[in-house]
A = this chain, B = another copy of it.
Amino acid sequence: MIEARRELLDAAPWLHVWAEDVRLPDGRLIDGYLRLEMLDFVVVVANAEAGIVVLRSYKHGPADIGTSLPAGYLEADEEPADAARRELLEETGHVSEQWEELGSFVVDGNRGAGTVHMFLARGAEPVAVPDPGDLEETEMSFVALEDLVAALKDGEVPVLPMAAAVALAAAHLR
């Protein structure tokens, strides 16, 4: 239970950092435990006829070019499933009528840092020209799921939520 909290940083809308005084279930009090409030986001594993729809672009987290998946922050009052459909269409021009939830997970086990909602879209089909609106130039392609899983270990999918979604989809589709 949180008995008190003090804001350490307001970098809205991306990040709020709080110091929380937390009463643990066993009664002890932890002083000033850091909590990160960040935007929730979605990641989409879209299975099209030619393979999983992947994007190749520069990402500033790893500071490198790598393979990623359609993904993005939830807009205000947007449901995760709606955000998944929107991001898939915006970033890849694809739609799907067969959506499944792969799970929702808190990013940081100790400090929060937002929740990622992961989706699998089977039978994805192109209906539009992609308009990712990202900061980076993005190149779309298609990769067989087994090749994408193999690429995880080689560091070709350098970002955790993307790698997790690939592995979850593989576990789910097997």
- Which residues from chain A sit less than 8 Å from chain B, CB to CB? 8-9, 11, 14-15, 17, 19-20, 22, 24-26, 28, 30, 33-36, 58-62, 65, 68, 71, 101-113, 116, 135-137, 149, 152-153, 155, 157-164, 167-168, 170-172, 174
A35 to B112, CA, bound (A): 16
Assuming the contacts A60-B110, A106-B159, asked whether A24 and B149 have C-beta atoms less than 8 A apart, the reply is no
Determine if A11 and B8 form an interchain contact, defined as CB atoms under 8 angstroms apart. yes
Evaluate contact between B109 and A159: CB separation under 8 angstroms. yes
Select which of B34, B59, B65, B105 is within 8 A of A109 by beta carbon: B59
Bound state CA distance, A135 and B60, in angstroms?
Answer: 33
Closest to A14 in B: B34
**Which B residue's beta carbon lies closest to that of A71?**
B109
Query: How many protomers of this protein does the assembly include?
Result: 2
Please measure, in the bound complex, the distance between the C-alpha atom of A136 and the C-alpha atom of B152, giving whole angstroms. Answer: 32
* Residues of chain B within 8 A of A104, CB atoms compared: 155
20 inter-chain pairs at a CB distance below 8 angstroms, sorted by A residue, are A15-B34, A15-B111, A25-B65, A25-B136, A26-B136, A33-B60, A60-B110, A61-B106, A61-B113, A62-B109, A71-B109, A105-B159, A105-B163, A107-B160, A109-B160, A109-B162, A116-B160, A163-B164, A167-B168, A170-B171
Residues on B with C-beta less than 8 A from A160 are 105-109, 116, 160-161, 164
